[in-house]
Structure 1
Amino acid sequence: MSDFFSDFWSNYVALATLGSILLCALLLWVVARSSAPSGADNTTGHVWDEDLREANNPMPRWWIGLFVITIVFGLAYLVAYPGLGSYKGELAWSTADEYGKDQARAKRELEPVYAAFAAMPAERVAGEPAAMAIGERLFLNNCAQCHGSDARGSKGFPNLADSDWLHGSTPDKIKESITGGRTGVMPPMAAAVGTPEDVKNVANYVLSLSGSPHDSVRAGLGKSKFSACAACHGIGGVGNPAMGAPNLADKVWLHGYGQEAIISIINTGKTNQMPAQQGRLTEAQIHVLASYVWGFSNKAVVSP
């Protein structure tokens, strides 16, 4: 209810809830005090199927008792717990607090498990079967939704199992990416490159850098125009890990391959974001997870 800008809906929910309970109590009181007229045989006079008559018997006392207990319990619950609009209840209980306590308890219980790997370098952790089993579960729960269960990514999501790294492949850089997340922004560059023909020429020059199929004439014309891109991607398009600028001279295409895909990115730009895992994962968990990811494209040091 805190999402609303006024108290109207909070009051509406509170009144509707209390009104419903009070109406139930009123209904019980009215029914208990009223009785249908009955004949000498204690029937109401209603007959079905020729001989089925409705008896005028009072409601069982145990049923009335349960009804009263339910109403009292409902009122007591609404006093103790949230349920009346934005009223938090006398116990101030919330699902967020409960979740936080569960998370804190789980972290305390897991600390001894991670303690064995905390002091190890990532290269050694990647060679520990027990750590890698933990890392695999962390990866599947937190990373596989974007990078795939095999870590090979898909269009727009980097492949973590090859040797192409936007921000560097050292364990510390991987930890940095997991901890704080990444936001990669390439602005629209069409205006800086020139005309639509210039954009097409630059696209062919980019394809030529990796030896991909291209129009050599257009590539030659686009080389000088590539200077607008070299500020981030470097001379020769080899990329810049400090900025997260992709290497254009290999054959790894994060956002699609071919002339049209490159033209589209030059014209419209591209923004990619990896969410930060700090706060969701502990430092020890990030250490194990980074070691697991590092191991996809590197050889682990196995303990003797």
Structure 2
Amino acid sequence: MSDFINNFWSMYVVALTLLGILGCLLLLIVVARKKVVSAADNTTGHVWDEDLRELNNPMPKWWMGLFVITVVFSLAYLAIYPGLGSYTGKLAWSQTGAYEKEVAKAQADLEPLYARFTSMPAQEMARDTQAMAIGERLFMNNCAQCHGSDARGGKSFPNLTDGDWLHGGTPEKIRETITNGRIGVMPPMAAAVGTADDVRNVAHYVLSLSGSPHDSVRASLGKSKFVACAACHGMDGKGNQAMGAPNLTDDIWLHGYGEAAIMNIVNNGKQNEMPAQKEKLTEAQIAVLASYVWSLSNKSGAAPQ
């Protein structure tokens, strides 16, 4: 009810709810008081299928009692819990509050488990079998939806096992990424590059940087136009982790491979978002998860999986 813009709708819901309960109560009273004239054989006089007669027996008192209890219970419930418009009830209960209490209790129960990891260096944690088992569960629950259960990612979702990092692959940088998230923006660069043919030439030059199949003539023509891209990717195309600009020389393609894919990004730009996890996970959980992610591309320093 918090999205009501004025009191009218709140009062409307209150009136509708109470009138409904009152209607049930009045129906009960009317039915209880109604007397049907019985025939000598205690029937109502109605006959179906020639010989089916309805007996005039009163409703059982226990049934009437349950009906009364239901009405009383509904009034008591609405007094204690939200249900009457914007009224929050005596207990001020809410789904959000109940969820937050459950999360707080779960975190309190798990705190002793994470206690020994809080001061442990990431590299040491990566060699701890228990920490990595916890990290794997955290990854499956919070990261696998995008990066895959094997952490190898997919188109537009980075592979976390290959050592190729947009913003840096140290445990500290990974922890920062998980905590605050990332927003990567590649603006449309077609106007800065030049004509449609220039864009195609730049695409072949970019392909040449990683030794991928390309047209060498177009690549040579595109080299001078690459200056528009060098502000982020560098003149050598090796990228800039401070800006999250990809390395174009390593033959790893996050958003697709080939002339058409590169031209599409140059023409239309690209935006990716890694959501922040600080509202979902505790600092200790993020620390364990960051160590687990770091271990995926540093097998020599990690515990056996």
Instruction: Give the aligned partner of residue 150 of structure 2.
Output: 150
Any conservation in 1 of the 2:239–2:245 contact (CA below 8 Å)? yes
- The two structures have a TM-score, normalised by structure 2, of 0.96
| C-alpha spacing 1:51/1:277, structure 2 compared with 1 (3 Å) | same
Identity of aligned residues (%): 70
Cα distance in 2, alignment partners of residues 22 and 48 from structure 1: 34
Instruction: Give the aligned partner of residue 70 of structure 1.
Output: 70
Q: CA deviation at 1:7?
A: 3.4
Instruction: Give the aligned partner of residue 171 of structure 1.
Output: 171
Instruction: Give the aligned partner of residue 44 of structure 1.
Output: 44
- The two structures have a TM-score, normalised by structure 1, of 0.96
| C-alpha spacing 1:266/1:7, structure 2 compared with 1 (3 Å) | farther
Aligned AA (1:35)? K
Q: CA deviation at 1:51?
A: 2.7
| C-alpha spacing 1:237/1:4, structure 2 compared with 1 (3 Å) | farther
Any conservation in 2 of the 1:147–1:154 contact (CA below 8 Å)? yes
Q: CA deviation at 1:13?
A: 2.6
Instruction: Give the aligned partner of residue 292 of structure 1.
Output: 292
Any conservation in 1 of the 2:129–2:303 contact (CA below 8 Å)? no
| C-alpha spacing 1:61/1:301, structure 2 compared with 1 (3 Å) | closer
Cα distance in 2, alignment partners of residues 255 and 161 from structure 1: 17
Aligned AA (1:293)? V
Q: CA deviation at 1:37?
A: 2.5
Cα distance in 2, alignment partners of residues 192 and 262 from structure 1: 15
Aligned positions of 1:1-304 closer than 5 A: 1-298=1-298, 299-300=300-301
| C-alpha RMSD of the superposition | 1.4
Q: CA deviation at 1:163?
A: 1.3
SS of the residue aligned with 1:184? strand
Deviations 1:28-59 (A, max 9, x none): 11111112232111111112333321011111
Cα distance in 2, alignment partners of residues 145 and 124 from structure 1: 27
Q: CA deviation at 1:161?
A: 0.7
Q: CA deviation at 1:19?
A: 1.9
Any conservation in 2 of the 1:124–1:302 contact (CA below 8 Å)? no
Cα distance in 2, alignment partners of residues 225 and 120 from structure 1: 49
Q: Say how many residue pairs are matched.
A: 303
Any conservation in 2 of the 1:170–1:294 contact (CA below 8 Å)? yes
Structure 2 alignment gaps of length 5 or more: none
Cα distance in 2, alignment partners of residues 203 and 302 from structure 1: 41
Cα distance in 1, alignment partners of residues 302 and 218 from structure 2: 48
SS of the residue aligned with 2:116? helix
Cα distance in 2, alignment partners of residues 176 and 224 from structure 1: 36
- Choose 190-199 or 82-91, whichever is displaced more: 82-91
SS of the residue aligned with 1:45? strand
Cα distance in 2, alignment partners of residues 302 and 98 from structure 1: 38
Cα distance in 2, alignment partners of residues 127 and 3 from structure 1: 50
Q: CA deviation at 1:90?
A: 1.4
Cα distance in 1, alignment partners of residues 301 and 3 from structure 2: 49
Q: CA deviation at 1:301?
A: 5.5
Cα distance in 2, alignment partners of residues 206 and 84 from structure 1: 64
SS of the residue aligned with 2:24? helix
Aligned AA (1:51)? D
Any conservation in 1 of the 2:180–2:276 contact (CA below 8 Å)? yes
Deviations 1:157-186 (A, max 9, x none): 100011110000100000000000000011
Q: CA deviation at 1:302?
A: 5.8
SS of the residue aligned with 1:185? strand
